[in-house]
Every structure is written in C-alpha cells, then in structure tokens.
Structure 1
Amino acid sequence: MTRSARRTRRILRTAGTGAAALLVLSGCSSSDDSASATSGSSASGSDELSGPVTVFAAASLKESFTTLGEEFEKAHPGTKVSFNFGGSDSLAAGITGGAPADVFASASPKTMKIVTEAGSASGAPATFVRNQLEIATLPGNPDRVSSLKDLTDPGLKVVLCDKEVPCGAAAQKALDAGGLTLTPVSYEQDVKSALTKVELKEADAAVVYTTDVHAAGGKVEGVEFPESADAVNDYPIVRLKDSANADAAEAFIALVRSAQGQKVLTGAGFLKP
C-alpha cells in the first residue's frame, strides 16, 4: 500500500470515529435537554397552588389577615383562604382537639406552646409581629382617662380580656408592672369582644391592643400608657402537622412574613418582630 493510500485510510478512520462521537454526544445532549425540559415542567407544575387553606388566627389579626387572604387568593386563583378568628387559647384547644386547620397564628408564645407540646405543629413557629397594649375609651375620652391608674377609679366601668387570653395576660402584666389592682365589670374571651363593649357604650374603657384601637377608627379613642412596654406580645405562626394543603399553607405563611405582608401588618399598627 502506498503512503498516499495509507494516509487516506487513516483520515477516513479518524473521520468515522469523530462522526460516531458526535452522534453519541448528540444523543446525550438530546437526553439532557429532554430531562431538563421535564424537570422544568415538573417544577412549574409544583408551583401551582390550589384548594382551600384554613387559618386559625388571634382575633387581633382579623383585619390584616383578611386583607392578606384576599391578596393570596388573587396571586393564586385556585385557592380559597378561610379564617377562624378568636381567642388564642380557644383556638389552640380546638387544634389539639382535632379541629381541621392548616395554619395557626397566635397572639402569644404561651398559647402557641399548647399546640407545639401536643405535637400538632409542623416545625418550629416563627415570630412574625409584635403587639402593644392601649386603653380604648369612648370617643372624645369623656372620662379624661390619661393613665392605667385612672382605670382603678371605682366609678369607671372597665373591661379586660380573660387572663387566659393573651391580651388579658398582657394587661395583668402591665398592671403588675404599675403595682395596680383593677376589678373589671367583665372579662371577655377575646380582644374584639372587649373592644365591642366600649363601642356599644356598655363600658367606659377597655385594655386592648393598639391594633384594635386602630381598626376601630372613630368608634373609640386610644390612650397610651408606659406600663404597656412591659407587656408587649410576640405573635408566632406555624403550619400545622395535619394540614390538608401543606404547600398552600407554607405559601400563606411566606406571604405573612414577606415585605408585602409586613407592610400590611405594620400599617395596621403591629410592631416588627
């Protein structure tokens, strides 16, 4: 065989090997692209949220959470957020008793602990806001209430939250800080009920949260007092272990803790965590 023939044969053999390699690489590339496309499609599908989300939340969160629920539904058209607002202790009892819910937002770590110790929470709760007490009086403050001590006047009809409810426990802490003793005309099961007593003029004043005075608008007048600094409540939130819609529950919690959620909450008078 001549040198020229040998060179030609070598070139052809090399070209064949290269072509085979290109075919293999092409196959791998197609396979990778296909896998990538499938993965992307799957990820896109997992981002689709749908179905109901049930949120058990402290009564003081009613206005801000209702707003966030509407925003959540707009962002995820296939979802529906339902709320159960009430005293945190009652809500915790309902959850540990088997009431179906996806998310629990409590007005205090103490009531959240009822749920976590019962093994009903999925993961550790996260504090998302804080809240401070304020005195709610009748519009115009006709009794000229200017301090927590003024509420001890026996001539005033004052309402407090029950001591087992976070707002009641905080009020007692504030009274203790001021060395004051107060006998209310009634103890209410949640902060909204206490506020309503003043709005209906069934009480002259109530110790509630700043956020509740804010939400009431002109129906009441708020009076700040220094002892409230000793009774600021942390609000924790958690997904529940038996959630029937875990992805949507986590997404709602993410909204609450996001900058968008914090804007709604601080706009309602809550303090940042």
Structure 2
Amino acid sequence: MSESAVPAPHPPPPVPVGQLHLAVPPEHASTAEARSYRKQRLAAALRLFGRMGFEDGVSGHITVRDPEFTDCCWVNPFGVPFGHVTAGDLLLVDQEGRVREGGRHVNQAAFAVHSQVQDARPDVVAVVHSHTTYGRAFAALGEPLEPLTQEACAFYEDHALLDGWTGVGVDAGDGARIAAALGPHKAVILRSHGLLTVGDSVDAAAWWFLQLERACEIQLAAKAAGKPVPVEHRNAVAAREQLGSDLAAWHNYQPLYARITRDEPDLLS
C-alpha cells in the first residue's frame, strides 16, 4: 500500500459541551467575599489603566459600589499612581464625600461625579472616568460616536453626549448634570472633558471605557483619512444586541484581568 493510500488518523472524539469550562461572573457566599472581589477587580482595572497610559496627573478615577453599604463606593486614593494601587489602598467613601475606610484623601471630582451617577442609576455597580488622549480629542468635537466598526456598534444608540463643558467637576451640580446626560446608557461623551462609562461590574465598565477610547481613536483616524461609511441602522442594532451587554463586556475583559494579575499579583493584597 502506498503512503498516499494510508487512512488518515481519526481525531479524538469531541468533548461534551457540558464538560467545557466557561468562566461566568461569580456568585458570592457573603458580602465580605463580594467586597473583597470587587476591590480586587477595581485594583486590577487601575493597574491596567496605568499600564495603558490612561493617567494624567491626579485625574482619573474608577469606583465600585460596596455590596453591603450601597450608598458608599470604593475608589482609588488621591495622588496614588494607578500602577501602585493595591486592593488594600482603596478608600470607602460615602455620599457626602467622607472617607469611611482608608487613610488617604479622596479625589473630590471622583466623589462629585461618581456619587451622582450611582445615585441616579441603582443598576450601576462601577463607574469609570479618565482623561485619555483620544477620548479628549474626540470630546472636543462635540459629536456622538458613529457606528463605523462592529465594536463601535456596541455603543449605537446606547451612549450620550453632554454638549457643554461642565467645568472641572468638583461639586454635586456638575455630577448631577453628567448623570442626567448619561441617562440609561452605558457611556457619555463629555464635551471638552473626556469619556465616562458604567457597568454592572468593574470588568464591564472598564471594558466599555477601553472600547470607547479605541472607537474614538478609530473614528478620528477614519475621518482624517477620508469619508468613512457607517454600518447601516439594522445591522448596527443587531451588532449591539450581540456585543453590547454587560455580560459580553465581562467576558471580553477576562483575558486582561488574567494578564495583569499574573504579571502584578501584588495588586490583590
């Protein structure tokens, strides 16, 4: 029998679907366990943002609602580099901006904006805002994001534009205007300021921020190169339905979380 006539070997039988591992957002046995989980995810997101250059002096903050004291949130301390933050460094802050746990000052802009958003949106667990290069450049245009790519379609008819500068944003009035502009959406573009995203987990809110920053970069580049063709309405809606849920964002974020915690395990302490 010639070599060409030798039967090809058969691959192993398929693994039953029920035996394949799929990560899902965990359920927690206690509020203490849930709190520790949320703080670790927050510290990891800050480290990632530091690595990606999403830091500008003392600007930028991510918050996560406490699972027990739901009118309080955990936030990065004022003046500590994103790349140095650990779960143990985080501050618990109440609706009045008072530090309930932790030994550092809180960023007043973080308190003013995030507390108002979380108060207006009980469904929101985490809020992300930072002063990024492409986010700020795009925000200076005072226009919404267009559905130019399938990733940008996740924000189609699910983001808002605050078409007016609110100032530095250190009082409740500024935060209330941002919360009102955000409405029921996952993101808001703050003219002359930057981007803000929300989610039902730190992972989702952080992923939306990363995707919105990239979508801003791509739209700026596409329009600089020519006249981009948007995805038509029906297809943009279909893409949003597939890609635009917080669960989809959570899944997309997991490789980033795995990488940063393996590279920088001290952040969990």
What TM-score, normalized by structure 1, do the two folds share? 0.22
- Structure with the bigger RCO (C-alpha within 8 Å, sep 6+) is 1
Structure number with larger C-alpha Rg: 1
Flag the structure with higher helix content: 1
Flag the structure with higher strand content: 1
What TM-score, normalized by structure 2, do the two folds share? 0.22
